Structure 1
Amino acid sequence: MLTSLKDYYNFIADNGSLRRYLFDSNVRDFMGVNRVNEDIKLTLENEDSPDFWSLNNGVTILTTSASIIGKSIRLDNIQIVNGLQTTESIFRYFQGGGDDRSGRSVLVKIIVSTEEYVRDAIIRATNNQTVVELSALHATDKIQRDIEEVLERAGYHYERRTNYYKNFGHPPSSIVAPLYLASGYVSLILKSPHMARSLKSRFMRSDESYNTVFSQNTAIGVWPKIAAILKFTDSSLETLRPLGTSANERFLKNWRHIISFIFTSKILRSFDFSVKDLLALDTENLQRSELKEVWDFIVSNYPLSSANPHKKKSFYIEASRLASEHFSIPGIDRVERLTRLGGTQANSRAIVSPPKQKSHRELSAFALKLNESLPPQPWKPGVHREMCKLMQCTRHEYYEAVEFLISEGIRHHQKDGVVYDGDGNVIAFDLTRVDPKSLMLVDPVLDDNSKSASIT
């Protein structure tokens, strides 16, 4: 149907404000000044141009019921699912004092449906254009709405509709884009910082890969944790970057995921931390000093002046392994088990799930056997490799057994060359790696005469 521009303006306006709730199901917000919107603006301002509807694709309105009353149409549960750029341009034209003496019209298509799945299909079909970001085509999914709501409660604005919060003037530091959040999930939950760095919106083309990341089975509370860790990492990297290094998205993209992944693993004391562990993490009290430790360690091994290693998967695996040894973080076998997103359901489960755990009896028997071969603490860096070779086991099996020995009081927790008892008291430290006064790591000089010190 055709309706006059002025009548359409009166329909979308309420006391001088745009009725934005009409666009809740639209996949994007106003895109600002671009070629298309500038053309619409010029057409509205030039009353000598052909009638507006003949130059414009018009508007699609989705409603649950429609009835004709005289020369009007009554609509219930209205959503404008396509034509937001046209709508906002018309609103801004009349709001700025524009007039329409020629009585021009806009094309309005009205679709009546009460079926939720049909409404979702219509929304996707009417917005499936090349100019729409792939992530936006999922903007109306329930999981995306749930994420927006839970992030809002945590103080973040989830840009499931492109430019929505940007147009409201919210600062970039509080805005979280779907691809940004998805890459954090791939890094922190799926344990693949390499894939996270290279993640592109086209992964959303596949329902299987999309559902692997944005799963309804994932605890909704984990999304604010991911957002908080990434935003904290970004703001910290802005202050840590060396002079002369430009602070741009490329710099953050190169370092964000490996730093945040090791930082989080260090705090949670395992690379194989779970969603439950992440939910329990107090992201309000993350310490820049701890993140700086990770940053200093990484750049000491991979100087910024060296060739860019970020495109190589081996960089992320090697950096994680070095960090595992340096910070005594177990669970390194979990890193990079993910090889791709999606695939068959069975394959996806195999990719995402941790390895099968030993029974308590099997674990205790293996751990006690390992204990017979383990040297006295404090252990030197690389002892896990010797033990894995000797016991013919994986790193995961080794660290699982060590954790068992610690829980049973047979061995003690060790970090950075310092050994602690169950109450957190220092009971021993490695003189070749640790300053006796500060108990902080020093540059190690290992030789055949390396010594340890015990505290009694």
Structure 2
Amino acid sequence: MDKITKSLLDSFVEQFEISKLSESLQFEHFTNYSVATKSYRNSFDLDDIHTGSGGDCAIDGLIIIVNGRLILDDDELTDIVTTSGFLDADIIFIQSKTSSSFDGSQIGNFIHGIKDFLSDNPRLVQNEKIIKIKSIWEKMLSMSSYMINRRPACKIYYVCTGKWQNDQNLNAVITSGVEELEHLSLFESIDFDPLGASEIQRLYHETKNKLTATINFQNRITLPDIEGISEAYLGVIPYNEYLKLIQDDQKTIHSIFDDNVRDFQGENAVNRNIKRTLEDGKFDLFCVLNNGVTIVASSITPAGNRFTIRDYQIVNGCQTSHVLHDCQNIHGIENVFIPTKIIVTANDDIKTSITLATNSQTEVKAEQLEALSSFQRKLELYFKAEKNNITLYYERRSQQYNSDAGIKRTQIISIPIQIKAFASMFLDSPHLVSGYYGTIVNRFSGKIFSENHMLSLYYVSALAFYKIEQFFRSGEIDVKYKKIRFHLLMLIRLISLGDKMEPFNSKSLDKKCETLKNTLLKETESLRLFEKAVSIYENSSIDKDKRQYKSESDTELFISAYRQQYQKTELPQK
């Protein structure tokens, strides 16, 4: 391995705290992360996309992205597709080798593994991760009626640390393999990219960069100077130019709506009306009937009418954007103009104020607005104020800490992770935290991010999540227990704080969380606590062969197992 790739790999290993893995496994994770981030810009767990180890079908990384979202289970797929009303899918296969040359036989084995994965009757041995993603793939194919824009796109990456020389024999192996995959008639497109050291270095560097798009913005006016805002424009953007902002080259919609207080609402009345306007061919009326979109960016570079926008989010216009994306095959759609406001600011408070103001006229509940503005901000500051031997960062905005080399990725707690950890620990709902983020938020609406909740509950649940992931990485807790990690969070709360939950605004509960926090911060005591939780599971009658525990009855079994072991010492004497 050359010195530059080795240096980048070492940096990656430190960022993700995977030093105990072998170099080949580190490189697999490094490659998977670099490739995946090209298509999916949000946070994800390295193990979610890693398939390498025995029974991997010569596939080290396997990723399914639907409508711009990384799909990790069947529920998530169903939630996203039925909510959106369409299915734009990418499947990505990755094979990584630390060798300094491209190997034709290895490439052939890789292609054979892909064909076997896609076949109706796989013959190769498949590990649990391959089996799980295969199940998602089959479920996705059964929903092909939603593929109204295109069939799935297949992207294949073979990575080594050498230099791609465009060797004729290797090209023949690749071409033959791609042709065989094309005969399956599954894909809109198939791209096979052999990546050498320079290419994987470039991809890794790009993971540090923010999303960028260049559009033609001719019909605009410049707004007057506003304190805290460096630039602001108001105008209309042609349909084809607007698509450059919201989707990639494969027509997959970007994850650029994270600062929007609502996710896409699917076929509701408002969205049906937007779509009807387009289907009826009223293209010239669209820009006067639609409230338009608001884009907040960190920087913008104008060159005549060409605007390069960097690190941007659509803070109002999520619904409009999804409908426009959905309607791109309508004849004449290119005649649509979208009312657009582009605001450039680095001020977080202004960004929040813009989001609140531009969404307040729509069907956004007051508590959602409040959660975005006040509670989230306070929670971020609370995390920063915790001066412990472990530092966690609350990612209130997507990719907030991406460019900060001093912050390890494992230290970042995203909003989805916070919701899952809190709901598991304090709402006794680990069975409800799988699925699509938007659906999970709706499940716990009114129960999370309440203004009177003690912030310590959120911090300690995030810390518990960080610790269990750390123990998985170090091998101190077997990774086979990852499937119950959120149930384990619930169990450590039961062990530490008891079965009876006090109100979330209780000072008494706040003090108990402080005690639990101090336990989690101590390596030995923290590990012992999680080992107790694991022993409850192991000593119970719970079916250990289940791949997932996603029902309320499953959670009740975990609670019952805890009570059998601990409750008799907690119940008051009669």
TM-score, length-scaled by structure 1: 0.45
Larger radius of gyration between Structure 1 and Structure 2: 1
TM-score, length-scaled by structure 2: 0.37
Higher relative contact order (CA 8 A, sep 6+): 2
